[in-house]
Amino acid sequence: MSARIAAIVGGGVIGGGWAARFLLNGWDVRIFDPDPQAERKIGEVLANARRSLPGLYDVALPAEGKLEFCATIAETVAGADWIQESVPERLDIKHRAIREIQASARADAILGSSTSGYKPSELAEGAANPAQIMVAHPFNPVYLLPVIELVPHPGTDPVLVERAQALLRSVGLKPLRVRKEIDAHIADRFLEAVWREALWLVKDDIATTEEIDDAIRFGFGIRWAQMGLFETYRVAGGEAGMAHFIAQFGPCLQWPWTKLTDVPELTDELVQKISSQSDAQSGMHGIRDLERIRDDNLVGIMRALKRRDWGAGRTALEHDALLLSGRAAPDWSQPVLTIERVIPRDWTDYNGHMNETHYLELFSRASDRIMELVGCDAAYIASGGSYFTVETHLRHLDEAHAGAKVRVTTQIVEGAGKRLHIYSRLFHDDGRLLATGEQMLIHVSLETRRAAPPGGVVAEGLAVAMAGQSALDRPDGLRLGRS
C-alpha cells in the first residue's frame, strides 16, 4: 500500500509543525515555501519533533515518510490526500494560494486552512471547488498539541469533513468540530480576551509580563490543561455543583473588573514596554532552547495525563492502541517482540541514563503484553482472573539514554498450571543488550485473591504459545523457580 501524501503550502512555524505531524506518522510530505531558508527552518522544527513526539507514546511510531521540497504549488499538491494551506494571514494571499492549489489538486482532496481568524466561507469566496475547503486550525507546536479546530462552511462536502476527522485521528490529533463558523473560531476568541486584559495590566503597571505568565502557569493554566473552563468551575462549586458556583460568582460579571470590551492603543511606548519586559523574562534562552523546554514540559504533562486516562493524555492512549492494533500476530517459535519504543526524557536520572525504576517498568509492560497475547486481556481480568508477579530478577548490563530507541523480546520459559515464568531481554536499536528481566507470575482468582488455574481462554492461549516457545533454548542464568 502506497503512503498517503500530505501537501503543505506555507512552511513557517505552523506549516513546519503540520509537516512533522504527518511525516512522523508515516505520511509522505511535500512542502512549498518560497523562503530560501525554508528547508533549514523546517529541518530545525523536524529535529525538535523527532526529539519530543516519540517520547509521548509507549508504542513505536511508523517509519517516517518521505520529505520533499517542491518548486511550485502545482507540483506540491498533485495527487495529495491532504492539503494544508498555512500561508500568511491575509485574505488576498490565501485566495491566491487556494486558486493555485485547486488548479492542480484532486477534487476529493481535503483542503484545510490553518487560519486562526478567517471563516471558511470567506476562504471559499470565488473558489473553483468550495466543497473541499474547510478550516483546520492547529495550535503550536502542531506535532505535540492534539486539538484541531475543524470548521466547515455550509457548502463543504460533509463526506470530506468526516474523512478529515478520521485522518486527523489517525495521526494522533483530536479534531474539534466547530458547530457554526465564526471569526477566530473557538479557542482564539478566549485567547484574544485574555490577551486584551493582559495588555491593559502591563500598560497600567499592574503587572509585568512575567507576573502575568506566572499567574497562568502556576495557577489556572495547570487546571485548564487537564479540565478546561466549565469543568474547573463545576468542581469549584463543590457538592452543590455548577448552579451553586454561578449563583455565588455570577454577580461578579456585573462588576467592572475587566476591560474586555476595550483595548489599549498599541503605541510604540507600550510595544517597547512589553518587548523589553518579555526579553528580560526569557532572554537568557534562545528560541530553540525555549522550544525544547516547552516540548519537554508538554510531553511530561501529557504523559502524566496518560497515566490518568484524562484529557490530552487519553488522545495519546488512543493513538497507542491504534499503533499497536497494526502489529502482526506473534511468531511463538521465537522470543516475542513485546516492547518497541523511545526512552522519554523524564525516565533519565542525575547520571544522564535511564533510572532502574524504568527498566522494571519496561519489563513489567512486557509481561503485560505477554498476558494480553495469551488471552489475559482487560475483558478476561474483568471476568475475575489475572496474573500477579511474585518474583523478579533484573540484570543491568549497559546504559540507555533519553531518545534511545529500544525493544524488548520476551520468552515464556514455563506456562503450565498456575505459573507463568518469563524471561525478557532489553536491546538498544544498535543491537546492544542493555538488561534482562526474569519474572515469575502466578495466576490468581480476583475474587479470593489466591492462586488458581487459568480459565479456558488463557489455558488455550498458553497451549498455543508453549507449542512454539518450548522448543527454544533455556536462557542462561535463570534464577527463579528453582527448587
Instruction: Measure the CA–CA gap between 187 and 190, rounded to whole angstroms.
Output: 5
The stretches in the chain having pLDDT less than 50 are 483
What is the CATH class of 187-284?
A: mainly alpha
pLDDT value at position 282?
77
| Three-state DSSP state, 207 | coil
- Half-sphere exposure for 426 (CA within 13 Å, toward CB): 30
pLDDT value, residue 254: 65
- The whole-angstrom distance between residue 363's C-alpha and the CA centroid of its chain comes to 24
Q: What is the pTM of this model?
A: 0.85
Question: Which CATH number among 3.30.1280.10, 3.40.50.720, 3.90.1150.140, 3.30.420.40 corresponds to the domain 5-177?
Answer: 3.40.50.720
Cβ distance 406 to 399 under 8 Å?
no
Q: What is the pLDDT of residue 240?
A: 75
User: How many whole angstroms separate alpha carbon 380 and alpha carbon 372?
Assistant: 9
- Taking the C-alpha atoms of residue 28 and residue 64, their distance in angstroms, rounded to an integer, is 8
Quote the CA–CA distance of 345 and 352 in Å, as a whole number. Answer: 9
* Per-residue confidence (pLDDT) for residue 106, from 0 to 100: 97
CB of 183 within 8 A of CB of 119? yes
Report helix, strand or coil for 359: helix
CATH superfamily of 328-469: Hotdog Thioesterase (3.10.129.10)
Cell numbers for 131, please give them. 466543497
Contacts of 380 (CB under 8 A, 6+ apart): 386, 455, 457, 458
> Cell 475547503 maps to which residue?
133
Contacts of 24 (CB under 8 A, 6+ apart): 49, 50, 53, 54, 61, 64, 143
Query: How is the chain split into domains, by residue range?
Result: 5-177, 187-284, 328-469
Give 3-state DSSP helix, strand, coil % of the chain, rounded to 5: 45, 20, 35
Strands (E), 215-327: none
pLDDT the model gives residue 470: 93
